[in-house]
């Protein structure tokens, strides 16, 4: 009997979207919810890899700019979640677990590695990257660094991805590098500068779990690479 691959998925309001997307890869996948509401950080020891999900703004105090809180959505900040996912990232790095970060997942990871965030993209003079007025995801083109690890994965210098966020990475965290950008310069993906003896780390600003085209290499290839790493 084949051993189950156990994936930890951090809790959020749309948790089911991420859980279902990961589980739909195959019958040998088991998902564990890692939740700041139950503080079940111990369950990470059962996991072969972790997905950091989307959701709330990261509190600016975590990147030493508490004055930027005024640009956050005050009803959409959870310091409790920030602190819990900090512990998740500490465990991931200490134990070399593969990690896939999506939207907020990219942002909190960038902060964890010492980076900062743009707290409100339009206020910083870039295009609106949040949902359309009818609540549908925005879609736009991105450019992938042809020398990046991500390029080898998605096999394309450009792609069309969805977008639903008002914050983004600013100063990039230590040991990370941007591997994809939007036309107005917003960071769309992060990866490790050096992968030698380091665990799998893929951070994307788009939402692969709900892209219109599930066969896009910016969806399918990312999930496959992550789960294959978790199975090792």
Task: Please identify every residue annotated as catalytic.
Answer: 103, 207, 209
Neighbours of 143 (CB within 10 A): 15
Burial class (CB in 10 A: 0-12, 13-18, 19+), 141: exposed
Count CB neighbours of 185 within 10 A. 12
Beta bridge partners of 169: 117
Q: Say whether 177 sits in a helix, a strand or coil.
A: strand
Pair 54, 14: CB distance under 8 Å: yes
């Amino acid at each position: 009997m084949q051993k189950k691959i156990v994936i930890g998925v951090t809790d959020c309001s749309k948790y089911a979207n991420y859980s279902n997307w990961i589980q739909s890869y195959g019958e040998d996948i088991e998902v564990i919810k890692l939740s700041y509401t139950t503080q079940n950080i111990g369950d990470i020891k059962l996991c072969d890899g972790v997905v950091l999900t989307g959701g709330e703004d990261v509190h600016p105090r975590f990147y030493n700019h508490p004055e930027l809180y005024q640009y956050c959505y005050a009803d959409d900040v959870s310091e409790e979640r920030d602190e819990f996912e900090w512990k998740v990232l500490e465990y991931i790095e200490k134990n070399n677990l593969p990690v896939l970060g999506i939207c907020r997942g990219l942002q909190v990871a960038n902060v964890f590695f010492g980076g900062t965030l743009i707290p409100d993209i339009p206020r910083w003079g870039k295009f609106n990257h949040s949902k359309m007025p009818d609540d549908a995801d925005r879609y736009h083109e991105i450019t992938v660094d042809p020398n990046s690890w991500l390029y080898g994965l998605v096999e394309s210098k450009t792609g069309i991805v969805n977008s639903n966020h008002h914050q983004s990475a600013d100063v990039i965290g230590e040991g990370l590098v941007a591997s994809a950008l939007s036309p107005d310069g917003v960071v769309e993906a992060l990866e490790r500068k050096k992968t030698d003896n380091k665990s799998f780390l893929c951070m994307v600003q788009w939402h692969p779990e709900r892209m219109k085209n599930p066969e896009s290499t910016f969806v399918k290839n990312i999930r496959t690479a992550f789960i294959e790493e978790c199975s090792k």
